[in-house]
Amino acid sequence: MFLSPIDWMIIAGYLVVCTVAGIRMRRYVTNVDDFAVAAREVESSLGVTSLAATEVGIVTIVYTAQMGFTNGPAGATPGVLTAVAMLLVGLTGFVIVPLREARVMTIPELFEKRFGTRVRWLAGLVVILGGLLNMGVFLRAGGDFLLHVTGVSALAGFEVAVLGHTISLGYLELMMTGLLAIVLVYTVLGGMLSVLITDFLQFIVMGAGIVIVSLMVLWYIPWPEFISGLSTAHEAGQRYAEAAKLETQQVEAAARTIEQTEGKQAAAAFLAAAAQKQGEDLKAAAGELAKQSVLVDTKSDTARPLTMAHPFNPFASEGLGFGWVLWQAMTAIAVVTTWQTTIARVLAARDAKTAKKIYRGTWFYFVGRFCLPGLWGAGAFLYFSANGGLPAGAASDTAMAEFLRVILPTGLIGILLAAMLAAEMSTDSGYLLTWSTVIYNDLITPCLRRPLSDRARLVTIRLVVVAIGLFLIFWGLWYEMSGSVWEYLAVTGNIYLASLFALLVGALYWRGANSWGATSAIVLGACGPLTFLVINAVVGKDSPYRIPGEVAGLAAFGLAFAGLIGGSLLGRAVGKGAPTPAQPIKETGP
Amino acid sequence: MNSLYVWFWSAMILGSIAWYAILLFYLGVKGTIEIQRMKTKLGKRRADETGAP
């Protein structure tokens, strides 16, 4: 453990202030509107800070740094695309203006007005499935980061004897459960009002931490060295990749010869032995390879070489590629118009004009959301290349935490940790509130025969918040992430992003859309990402049958729009599907 | 072409640091004012509903 008393004081001070401020807001909550959308009294600056704080969690820092570690600044491409999408929506009001004017609490509620209760329920189910799977990895990714920064092993813990049984308790699980408990207390009591106030404090602490750490990274690796170092690392990595490809081809040719002479079994045994030897060779040569800008990931079962892709051009074939960028562009537009945690601020805004202002005020924040942790990740790659390779047990997702632990002095580690706790808490509280609102509003309410009293509604939604918290503790802490964190988040998000985006555009801008089209869009849009998750989980990490993220993501958007159009036309042809309502979606009430 | 990309990412990264620093102060002040205003409004509404002074 590397924390000094000063670091501990900073962290404890932050936690106390934040918790007290959150709990104090409970006195203003009298009904579900106060709890879920802060009585629709949010002004632009508070909306911007809340949106910015919610959308930056530790998991965000981890995956954006991982993208920087593997792709340099080009890894921040999704951030630039999201910022551009946000600015365009903020200027034009595309989707968000009619959505705010409909005075709904969630997006599925809007669908009921247009397509009926069944579509609302189905949409709510898909939103929850995608949202909770997405949020499921937050705790472990966050805990891993915090432990690496403090120098504690992610597997460390202690044992306690309970009724004659010995139970192992890990520090990671205990720490994240404690953090979630604090978040649950103020979110359950004060709802969106508490989330807004704590988000504001967290925005300040997190922003200060991000700026200070970024300046420290640039002080440690000056900008000209950073740029030239990345170019050199990329070129060296390319040379290594070509040599490795040649070696793989030779091994495969030898395996084919063995297969012809000795059979398939012998060839498979030869390939397995060759892979094992390659892994052992990599581990043994890690220090030497680091000098050639090739880092060895020893966290996985088999050691893997990590090289720098094209650090500046995202379209390059040895980088992310055009298909990937296109998928990210589609996802960015869908996120800013459909992602419920983002839209929650639009729906809580005082009016549509304020909602647009919140977007215009937040857009550039999304560039930094990817670029600055990406800077830390790329800095980690350069640091470990120059200093004998990655430490034992580190990989692309934890290298940045190890790097910051080395370069940050006492006091700044405390600020970094407080900032990261702030990031985690604001994201957890925002997401807990959002998904519980959807469960209450779109899954429970449509099934009730009689409306609940104000008090019963408030109790129900609070119980849902607690239930999601419990789900997160169990799912979030035992789920083991493999591959890129960002890809997992983007694909699970796509389960509902693609279908709801198609549906939202159809509901707001196409009078021909009907419930047949809506149902088809939801089902088909969810198929692509779910197939990706299932097939990739079954075939394993190195299988040639793995589905690339961009294929699953783009297919989801294509299928969702095809379902909306095809289903609506078919429904109309057979005279089925809910008709377009006579009254407009926009409401005229106060 | 490559140097264009380098300029672009330099502007994005260095611009982000500056933007975050500016936003911290600007939104820090404006956000505090808005919180006070919202609390006053909600407190007044609560007093109206409960009849408390």
pLDDT at B16: 94
Q: B34 to chain A, minimum CA–CA distance in Å? A: 7
For residue B31, list chain A residues with Cβ-Cβ distance below 8 A.
45-46, 49, 200, 203
Across the interface, do A367 and B35 touch by the CB < 8 Å criterion? Answer: no
Which one of A84, A86, A211 makes the best mutation probe of the B interface by having the most chain B beta carbons within 10 Å?
A211
- pLDDT for A206-225, tens place per residue? 888 899 999 999 999 999 99
Q: A588 to chain B, minimum CA–CA distance in Å? A: 23
Of A277 and A82, the structure prediction assigns the larger pLDDT to A82
pLDDT at A584: 45
Read off the pLDDT band of A338 (50, 70, 90): confident
Domain ranges of chain B: 21-53
pLDDT at A577: 63
Nearest partner of A102 among A351, A431, A435, A338, judged by Cα? A351
Instruction: Output the six-digit token pair for A36.
Output: 């879920």
- pLDDT for A241-257, tens place per residue? 888 888 888 888 888 88
Q: Which of A46, A74, A375 sits opposite B35 (nearest CB)?
A: A46
Which of A250-264, A355-369, A573-587, B2-16 comes out lowest in average pLDDT?
A573-587
Three-state DSSP string of A77-112: HHHHHHHHHHHHHHHHCCCHHHHHHCCCCCHHHHHH
The position carrying tokens 């650090």 is A311
Q: Check: CATH 1.10.8.640 for A5-235+306-477? A: no
Q: Are A447 and A125 in contact (CB under 8 A)?
A: no
**In the 8-state DSSP scheme, what is residue A441?**
I
Across the interface, do A28 and B19 touch by the CB < 8 Å criterion? Answer: no
CB contact, 8 Å: B14 with chain A? yes
Q: Where are the beta strands (DSSP E) in chain B?
A: none
Q: Which of A41, A203, A204 sits opposite B41 (nearest CB)?
A: A41
For residue B41, list chain A residues with Cβ-Cβ distance below 8 A.
41
Question: Model-level pTM?
Answer: 0.81
- pLDDT for A388-409, tens place per residue? 888 877 888 888 888 998 888 8
For residue A204, list chain B residues with Cβ-Cβ distance below 8 A.
24, 28
CB count in 10 Å sphere of residue A15:
17
Instruction: Output the six-digit token pair for A538.
Output: 């079954």
Three-state DSSP string of A259-295: HHHHCHHHHHHHHHHHHHHHHHHHHHCHHHHHHCCCE
Please state the rounded mean pLDDT for residues A422-447: 83
Q: Are A66 and A485 in contact (CB under 8 A)?
A: yes
Across the interface, do A367 and B23 touch by the CB < 8 Å criterion? Answer: no
- pLDDT for A582 beyond 50: no
How many Cα atoms within 13 Å fall on the side-chain side of residue A365? Answer: 24
Q: Which of B16, B30, B45 sits opposite A371 (nearest CB)?
A: B16
The amino acid at residue A132 is L
**In the 8-state DSSP scheme, what is residue A580?**
P
Contacts of A336 (CB under 8 A, 6+ apart): A82, A85, A86, A89, A342, A359
Read off the pLDDT band of A472 (50, 70, 90): confident
Of A16 and A479, the structure prediction assigns the larger pLDDT to A16
- pLDDT for A166-202, tens place per residue? 766 777 778 888 888 888 888 888 888 888 888 888 8
| Element containing residue B30 per DSSP (H, E) | helix B2-50
Report angle CA A475, A481, A483 to the nearest 5 degrees.
Answer: 155
Across the interface, do B2 and A215 touch by the CB < 8 Å criterion? Answer: no
pLDDT at B12: 95
Read off the pLDDT band of B53 (50, 70, 90): low
- pLDDT for A587 beyond 50: no
Which of A131-135, A357-361, A456-460, A546-550 comes out lowest in average pLDDT?
A546-550
- pLDDT for A414 beyond 90: no
**In the 8-state DSSP scheme, what is residue A168?**
E
Report angle CA A141, A146, A151 to the nearest 5 degrees.
Answer: 125
- pLDDT for A444-467, tens place per residue? 888 888 888 878 888 888 898 899
Q: B50 to chain A, minimum CA–CA distance in Å? A: 11
The amino acid at residue A186 is Y
Q: Are A256 and A267 in contact (CB under 8 A)?
A: yes
Nearest partner of A69 among A312, A321, A306, A369, judged by Cα? A306
Please state the rounded mean pLDDT for residues A117-141: 83
